[in-house]
Amino acid sequence: MNVVDYSRTALRPGWAVLPAPVRSSVESVLGGPVVTSAAAGGGFTPGFAAVVSDGSRQIFAKAAPATDTFIHPAYLREREVLSILPTGLPIPQLLAAENVDSGGTSWQVLCFEAVSGYMPGKPWTHEDLDAIHTSLLRIQEGLAHLPANLTGGPMAEDFSNDPAINSIFASHCDAGTTPAFLPPLDSEQLHDLQQLCSASFDALQGNAVLHNDLRADNIIISQSQAYVCDWNFLSTGPAWADWVALLVYARHGGIDVGAWLKRSPLSANADPDRIDSWLAILAAYMVHSGNQPEVPNSPWLRSHARFTARITVDWLNERRWA
């Protein structure tokens, strides 16, 4: 199994290839001409994302054209979400957002404070996980009173309503096969996974406002505080869902995540079968994604899916069949 280095998954355009009006927009926020640009290495989209500096000040900038029908809507959504989030949360501050015209093409430009720090998980430590946990508690509290029309749809609809995802383990059970990137699974285990997937819509009901894409590359640790980035998948579900999804990676990194589940107020009282349903449908989603054709401008996307599917099923194996 290939282990994914989440700090080096992105292929991004350089500063020099951005249209002049886009560069001018960023420089107007920065306060001077850009002299250095350090592209963000993490992530799976080819949009521009970099820390830029005029030699005395730094900001983090993103930009994508409307011709990119995946990244541009994601940046628009992130702008929308960040505009409604309460202040004071451990989230990098959005300094400016602008629609910029370049030759008749609209570009979404986002400029953030540059948070100096590091991505967790290299290696995973209890100290970093504690910082992330503390930030998630603060974020949960801060987002609790957002108006329902601003919180995104239920995460259950994103994961559980697609037959191609929800029935994937049944298909493998019927065929007597297991995806090559998963550990060997017998028919009883595949059936159990399918039962968990079938229960996932109910398991993922909840009113907590969630990030819904929490991985190491969406987190910055700075001076013992965890900042959570990339808020374009806002959704609702059980309060423990983001936390459990992140623990998949921490467990693979050698952390005793069972102890964290028991002591966290996010998950201590969660039904273990509901947690397992979330892990199963997450694994199903990643199996489905990992079986899709490779994406030339996101060369690690499918590897990420296969890696995540494998380590999620590994955890389910420990929780249910060991």
* Per-residue pLDDT, 80: 93
Q: Which residues of the chain have pLDDT under 70?
A: 1
CB 307 within 8 A of CB 4: yes
Which region, left, alpha or beta, applies to residue 134 given φ > 0 means left and ψ of -120 to 50 means alpha? alpha
For residue 140, give the amino acid letter: Q
Q: How far apart are CA 204 and CA 155, in angstroms?
A: 7
Radius of gyration for the alpha carbons in the chain, expressed in angstroms and rounded:
20
* Per-residue pLDDT, 109: 98
Question: Which domains are delineated in the chain?
Answer: 15-113 (3.30.200.20), 126-321 (3.90.1200)
* Per-residue pLDDT, 145: 83
Helix (H) / strand (E) containing 48: strand 48-53
User: Is 19 exposed, middle or buried, given 0-12, 13-18 or 19+ CB atoms closer than 10 A?
Assistant: middle
Q: How far apart are CA 15 and CA 226, in angstroms?
A: 27
Q: How far apart are CA 144 and CA 210, in angstroms?
A: 10
The 3-state DSSP class for residue 159 equals: helix
Q: How far apart are CA 78 and CA 134, in angstroms?
A: 23
| Buried-exposed string 296-313: b where 16+ CB fall within 10 A, e elsewhere | eebebbbbbbbbbbbbbb
The reported pTM is 0.95
Query: What percent of the chain clears pLDDT 90, i.e. is strictly above it?
Result: 90
